[in-house]
Structure 1
Amino acid sequence: MKKNRLTATLAGFAALASLAVTPAFAQSSVTLYGVLDEGIDYTNNAGRGAVWEMASGYAQGSRWGMKGSEDLGGGMKAVFQLENGFDVSSGRLGQGGRMFGRQAYVGLSDDRFGTVTLGRQYDSVVDYLAQTTANGNWAGYLFAHPYDNDNTDNSFRLGNSVKYASPNIAGFQFGGVYSFSNDTNFANNRAYSFGGQYANGGLLIAAAYLQADNPGVGATGAITANDASFIAGRMRVFGGGINYTFGSATAGFAYTNSNYQNPTGNGYIGIPLAAAGVTLNTLKYQNFEVNGKYQFTPAFFVGAQYVYTMENYDASSGSVKPKIHSVGLMADYNISKRTDVYVQGEYQKVAGSSTQSILDDAFIPGVQAPSSTGTQVAVRVALRHKF
């Protein structure tokens, strides 16, 4: 009799335990995901002539990642994301050889008050403004503005960062991020950024601001030496954009303004930006982009982009104002829900006053090297798979 009573008691405890544990597992989730983007590129002039090459991660950077959440009750949850970037052609790690170079953060999210996260993250230009550009939305790398001077193609991330993102308030969202220098000189390679967007039906309006002090200096700051697009005394970027979707068509316009004080190098071309014996005081870019996309069928779209860039090159040798014209075309066809093939082409021309430096030569982000002339053409055919 006692044995039967003990058995019944243990069975009751087991049942209660199962009821307590099951909801906890049901309210937590972890998702594994990824993108593999691999194709063949042709560049008509990469310094020493034409080149054919296999290249990875253009329409989207090749990646795999994990993201998850745990329900803490009362509308609050813990969140995390780890995202690795890699090169499909060679298997090498991207983003300066980092294990989770694309994103790595943990934080808390509340349905009413928004989300706070800490780690390696995107700035507000990427979070809000970039989606109004072709390269930051559907086209990717080849369509980036010259040298990705405004980071709308997320050439770098912000390390040591604290980010806030608001909930959706009647179509309006906003946020900001502060990135610590982790240096005894508090302002040495720190960064901060903020932005917002408004979405209603087919309308999207966005704006953002980003500033970094001494980007590309050292290995522990906001924008480290092996992650920077420009190495400079100060970087300041701001801009706004608008997209409107009507039926199968989407049209967009974006304006960005990038200002670099005392720039000494660029992560894409890896050589001094000024001629020998010349000091470059400031380098400014104003980018005016118009873009459009038409969805012919649910599986097939065609997109186009034109960017007019006004450059202001102020050096000890004088100040000049070259102009850069960039034109891009893309067609994409979905073989299935997770696999597509695409074709892209980009043309760039540098015109107007000469800087007497490497910046006189055309350079499309993503190609091997600058052209030996003021023009350059790049074409890509690629396969992309998402999981």
Structure 2
Amino acid sequence: MKKTLIAGAALATLAGAVQAQSSVTLYGLIDTGLTYTNSQITGTGAGGHSNWQMTSGGVQYSRWGLRGAEDLGGGLRAIFTLENGFNVNNGQLSSSNRIFNRLAYVGVSSRDFGSLTLGRQTDDMVDFLAPLSLTGTQYGGTHFAHPFDVDNLNDSFQINNSVKYQSPDFAGFKLGALYGFSNQAGGFANNRAYSVGMSYMWGPLNFGAGYLHLNNSARTPAQLNTNGAVTDTLGASVSGLLTPTAVPLGALASRQQTWGGGVNYAFGPLVAGFVYTQTNLTELFLTGFNTHFQNYEGNVRFALTPAVMLAAAYTYSRAGGNAGGGAPHWNQVSALANYAFSKRTDVYIQSTYQSVSARAGNPLGVAWINGVSSPASTSNQVEATVGLRHRF
């Protein structure tokens, strides 16, 4: 009897040790609010109308996910993440054909050598540069994005079929690289992607830079390689102004090259930042146009009290090349005030104003704030949202 008790205790101890070596965490974020937008066109394209609506993801996209790790010994772990985006107002998935539409990857992580993961993942513009822009943080988010989010700092699309490496921290330096396969026989470069990035943190200084490259051979939406690296239907897209489809703009150009850099500097409770990005698009579908977008963002956030955060950003954007004649440029001003009831629950009020100048007849000559369901009927648009956010 004594031996049985000892054996049972030993097995229980061993089971506890095994249990401690692996873990799975359920996490998520729910963001919903009431949004006012002026001058939205109707579904038939008729003139501008004010719109009062309940919205999901006014600052951060609502999502839930599973994150897991298993200790393999010697500082090595097996890791995975599965993350789903959804609309909290009606319970629908953000994507109709994906269960885990935001993230789905598995890999290994080493404290000495970094991590290597495979699946559907974010690119290095999102990982290294977006945190320096308010659109890539909890202090700005969806409506703060640069026009059409063409630089993807708001994480409007992710990379399928991707292999990704991220280094450990080397005295403040971090490096990353990603490659997304086209998965097409005879079309190795047809809808592929690759990206690199780096960051450096030293005291109050935080610097980051990234590069993203997309290739595509399609000349119409119907020819798009739907098993390739970029196939999302999320987010505002310039292509939506030209055709009914709404895939990311870079997926409908023969080549997209996006790069940028940014810096944040903390002065006690005040953090000031600057971000620059440029996106070059070669042979935009149906037009053959080449164009580029440049974004200059200055931002600031201030912790007024431990519970109250204020943030604001100004972005100047311009398009060039031969995209429809003229040289459209945008001025966008955004502001947010946030009150935290706890570490998990907060309320916010935020607003964005956008104005665009373009030659008459240019399809980019109407304002369209990111995250707003339809563009304005004029060159100006404003939105304001009061929202509630909860993390778990």
Do both share a fold (TM > 0.5)?
yes
Preserved CA contact (<8 Å) 2:157 2:232: no
Q: Within 5 Å, which residues of 2 pair with 1:1-387?
A: 7-47=1-41, 48-137=48-137, 138-184=139-185, 185-214=187-216, 217-224=224-231, 226=233, 228-230=247-249, 231-264=252-285, 279-315=287-323, 319-351=325-357, 353-354=358-359, 356-387=361-392
CA shift, 1:246, in A, is 1.2
Q: What do residues 70-129 of structure 1 show as CA deviations (whole Å, max 9, x unaligned)?
A: 100000010011111000111110145421111111110001000001110000000000
Q: Secondary structure at the match of 1:244?
A: strand
Q: Secondary structure at the match of 1:240?
A: strand
Preserved CA contact (<8 Å) 2:328 2:364: no
CA shift, 1:358, in A, is 2.3
Q: Secondary structure at the match of 2:126?
A: helix
Give the whole-Å Cα distance in 2 for the aligned partners of 1:73 and 1:309.
Answer: 49
Give the whole-Å Cα distance in 1 for the aligned partners of 2:295 and 2:168.
Answer: 30
Give the whole-Å Cα distance in 1 for the aligned partners of 2:123 and 2:360.
Answer: 31
Give the whole-Å Cα distance in 1 for the aligned partners of 2:159 and 2:373.
Answer: 25
Preserved CA contact (<8 Å) 1:280 1:314: no
CA shift, 1:35, in A, is 0.6
Name the aligned partner's letter for residue 315 of structure 2. Answer: V
Question: Hey, what does 2:243 align to over in structure 1?
Answer: none
Give the whole-Å Cα distance in 2 for the aligned partners of 1:280 and 1:142.
Answer: 30
Q: What do residues 294-339 of structure 1 show as CA deviations (whole Å, max 9, x unaligned)?
A: 1100100111100011211414x6x432211010011001122211
Q: What do residues 241-268 of structure 1 show as CA deviations (whole Å, max 9, x unaligned)?
A: 000111110000000001112223xxxx
CA shift, 1:280, in A, is 4.6
Could you tell me which runs of 5 or more consecutive residues in structure 2 were left unpaired when the two chains were aligned.
42-47, 235-246
CA shift, 1:17, in A, is 2.5
Preserved CA contact (<8 Å) 1:219 1:226: no
Question: Hey, what does 2:240 align to over in structure 1?
Answer: none
Give the whole-Å Cα distance in 1 for the aligned partners of 2:3 and 2:103.
Answer: 49
Give the whole-Å Cα distance in 2 for the aligned partners of 1:95 and 1:61.
Answer: 13
Preserved CA contact (<8 Å) 2:128 2:209: yes
Give the whole-Å Cα distance in 2 for the aligned partners of 1:282 and 1:225.
Answer: 22
After the TM superposition, which of the residue ranges 201-210 and 92-101 deviates more from structure 2?
92-101
Q: Secondary structure at the match of 1:160?
A: strand
Preserved CA contact (<8 Å) 1:36 1:63: yes
Residue 225 to residue 328, structure 1, CA distance change in 2 (3 Å): closer
Give the whole-Å Cα distance in 1 for the aligned partners of 2:371 and 2:304.
Answer: 28
Give the whole-Å Cα distance in 2 for the aligned partners of 1:337 and 1:131.
Answer: 19
TM-score, normalising length: structure 2: 0.90
Report the number of matched residues: 365
CA shift, 1:201, in A, is 1.8
After the TM superposition, which of the residue ranges 107-116 and 223-232 deviates more from structure 2?
223-232
**CA RMSD for the aligned pairs?**
1.6
Give the whole-Å Cα distance in 2 for the aligned partners of 1:323 and 1:15.
Answer: 72
Give the whole-Å Cα distance in 2 for the aligned partners of 1:27 and 1:303.
Answer: 41
Name the aligned partner's letter for residue 357 of structure 1. Answer: N
Preserved CA contact (<8 Å) 2:175 2:197: yes
Q: What do residues 214-235 of structure 1 show as CA deviations (whole Å, max 9, x unaligned)?
A: 2872321100153542122211
Preserved CA contact (<8 Å) 2:158 2:232: no
Could you tell me which runs of 5 or more consecutive residues in structure 1 were left unpaired when the two chains were aligned.
1-6, 265-271, 273-278
CA shift, 1:355, in A, is 6.3
Give the whole-Å Cα distance in 1 for the aligned partners of 2:58 and 2:363.
Answer: 24
Question: Hey, what does 1:267 align to over in structure 2?
Answer: none
CA shift, 1:8, in A, is 4.2
Name the aligned partner's letter for residue 40 of structure 2. Answer: A
Preserved CA contact (<8 Å) 2:32 2:54: yes
Give the whole-Å Cα distance in 2 for the aligned partners of 1:286 and 1:368.
Answer: 24
CA shift, 1:18, in A, is 2.7
After the TM superposition, which of the residue ranges 220-229 and 150-159 deviates more from structure 2?
220-229
After the TM superposition, which of the residue ranges 107-116 and 95-104 deviates more from structure 2?
95-104
Greater C-alpha Rg? 1
Q: Secondary structure at the match of 1:255?
A: strand
CA shift, 1:58, in A, is 2.2
CA shift, 1:49, in A, is 1.2
Question: Hey, what does 1:4 align to over in structure 2?
Answer: none
Give the whole-Å Cα distance in 2 for the aligned partners of 1:294 and 1:97.
Answer: 40
TM-score, normalising length: structure 1: 0.91
Give the whole-Å Cα distance in 2 for the aligned partners of 1:110 and 1:367.
Answer: 41
